[in-house]
Structure 1
Amino acid sequence: MRILYIHQYFKTPQEGGAIRSWHLANALADDAHEVLVISSHNKKSGLRHFGNVKVHYVKVAYDNSFSYGKRIRAFVSFSYKALRIIMSEKRPDLLFATSTPLTVGILALVIKKLKGIPYIFEVRDLWPLVPEEMGIFKNKSIIKTAYFFEKKIYKNADRIIALSPPIETYISTRINDKKKVVCIPNFSDCEYFVPHKNTYSDKYPLVNGKFVIGYFGAAGKANDLLRLAEAAAYFKNAGIRKVVFLVISSGAELFEIQRYAFGHDLDNIIFSDFQDKEKIREALSLCDASYVSYADFPSLWTGSPNKFFDGIASGKLIILNFEGWIKAIVEEYDCGIYYDRNKPEQLWEKLEPFLNNSGLLEKAQVNSRRLALEKFSKKDLVAKFLTLFK
Structure 2
Amino acid sequence: MRIVYLTQWFDPETHVIKGTKFVRALQSAGHEVTVVTGFPNYPTGRLYPGYRLRLIHKEVIGGVNVVRLPLYPSHDSSSLRRSFNYLSFFLSAFVYLLLRRTPFDIAYVYHPPITVGLAAAVAGLWRRLPFILDVQDLWPDTLAATGMAGGRRSMQLVGLLCRFVYRRSDAIVAQSEGMKTALNAHGVPADKLVTIRNWAEAEPPINEGEARLAPHHFVVVYGGNLGRAQDLGTVLDAAARLRERKPDILIRLYGGGVEAEPLRARAEALSLTNVEFHGPVGKDAIGAIFAQADALLVHLADHPLFAITVPSKVQAYLAMGRPIVAGLAGEAARLLVESKAAVVAPPGDPRALAEAIASLADMPLEARKAMGHAGHDYYQRHLSFQSGVRRTLGLFDRARPT
User: Normalization by structure 2: what TM-score?
Assistant: 0.89
Alpha-carbon separation, structure 1, partners of 2:336 and 2:109: 30
2:245 to 239, 247, 263: 239
2:321 maps to 1:315: yes
Q: Which runs of 5+ in 1 are unaligned?
A: none
Q: Give the corresponding residue for 1:173.
A: 185
**1:75-129 CA-partner distances (Å, limit 9, x unpaired):** 1011111222222211111111111001111111101212221111110100112
Corresponding letter in the other structure for 1:323: A
Q: Give the corresponding residue for 1:387.
A: 394
Q: Give the corresponding residue for 1:25.
A: 23
Alpha-carbon separation, structure 1, partners of 2:108 and 2:145: 27
Alpha-carbon separation, structure 1, partners of 2:175 and 2:363: 35
Match of 1:20, SS state, is coil
Alpha-carbon separation, structure 2, partners of 1:141 and 1:66: 19
Q: Give the corresponding residue for 1:287.
A: 293
Q: Give the corresponding residue for 1:219.
A: 226
Q: 1:194 to 1:64 in 2, by over 3 A?
A: farther
Q: Give the corresponding residue for 1:98.
A: 110
Match of 2:19, SS state, is helix
Percent pairwise identity:
23
Alpha-carbon separation, structure 2, partners of 1:160 and 1:279: 33
1:122 to 123, 134, 149: 134
Contact 1:102 1:128 in 2 (8 A): no
Q: How does 1:255-266 map to 2 (within 5 A)?
A: 255-266=261-272
Q: How does 1:334-349 map to 2 (within 5 A)?
A: 334-349=340-355
Q: Give the corresponding residue for 1:38.
A: 36
Q: Which runs of 5+ in 2 are unaligned?
A: 40-46, 398-402
Corresponding letter in the other structure for 1:157: S
Corresponding letter in the other structure for 2:81: K
Contact 1:162 1:183 in 2 (8 A): yes
Q: Give the corresponding residue for 1:365.
A: 372
Q: Give the corresponding residue for 2:43.
A: none
Match of 1:148, SS state, is helix
Contact 2:5 2:108 in 1 (8 A): yes
The CA deviation at 1:198 is 5.8
Moved more, 105-114 or 340-349: 340-349
Contact 1:290 1:308 in 2 (8 A): no
Match of 1:185, SS state, is coil
Alpha-carbon separation, structure 2, partners of 1:325 and 1:100: 20
Contact 2:198 2:383 in 1 (8 A): yes
Alpha-carbon separation, structure 2, partners of 1:174 and 1:342: 28
Alpha-carbon separation, structure 2, partners of 1:353 and 1:225: 20
Q: Give the corresponding residue for 2:400.
A: none
Q: 1:257 to 1:10 in 2, by over 3 A?
A: same
Q: 1:76 to 1:60 in 2, by over 3 A?
A: same
Match of 1:98, SS state, is strand
Corresponding letter in the other structure for 2:378: L
Match of 1:10, SS state, is coil
Report runs of 4+ in structure 1 exceeding 6 Å deviation. none
Alpha-carbon separation, structure 1, partners of 2:20 and 2:233: 31
Alpha-carbon separation, structure 1, partners of 2:273 and 2:208: 22
The CA deviation at 1:138 is 4.4
Q: Give the corresponding residue for 2:90.
A: 79
Q: 1:262 to 1:285 in 2, by over 3 A?
A: same
**1:15-59 CA-partner distances (Å, limit 9, x unpaired):** 422241322222112222111111111334411123442111113
The CA deviation at 1:135 is 4.6
Contact 1:317 1:336 in 2 (8 A): yes
Alpha-carbon separation, structure 2, partners of 1:270 and 1:140: 39
Q: Give the corresponding residue for 1:65.
A: 76
Alpha-carbon separation, structure 1, partners of 2:230 and 2:278: 17
Superposition RMSD in Å: 2.0
Q: Give the corresponding residue for 1:48.
A: 59
User: Normalization by structure 1: what TM-score?
Assistant: 0.92
Corresponding letter in the other structure for 1:338: V
The CA deviation at 1:157 is 0.9
Q: Give the corresponding residue for 1:6.
A: 6
The CA deviation at 1:73 is 0.6
